[in-house]
Amino acid sequence: MKSDTNITGCGGHVDVLNEILVVALVICIIEMNIWTSMIKLYFLDWLMCQFVCIQHIRVDINMSDVLYTITSWNKNNDYN
């Protein structure tokens, strides 16, 4: 027996609703990955600052420098 895909009360289709939910889920997953990456970077920044404080070394760690270093790894390495 074939089931009807119309939602009788809303005037829409179950398929459309499912597609919207899938898109929303994908957006949430992407946002979670971005936040997770940011949390990891800030944690590494905090950890580096803690190490510097323990060693009594005055170093100004800038988050943009950390991001630049992470994104530029293995881009300019010559192994000829």
Residues paired with residue 6 on neighbouring β-strands, in sequence order: 13
What are the tens digits of pLDDT across the range 23-56?
A: 888 887 777 777 777 777 777 777 777 666 555 5
What whole-number distance in Å separates Cα of residue 63 and Cα of residue 41? 8
Q: Is the pLDDT of residue 19 over 50?
A: yes
Model pTM? Answer: 0.32
The per-residue pLDDT for 80 is 41
Of residues 46, 52, 44, the one with CA closest to residue 69: 44
Q: Percentage of residues in the chain with pLDDT exceeding 90?
A: 0
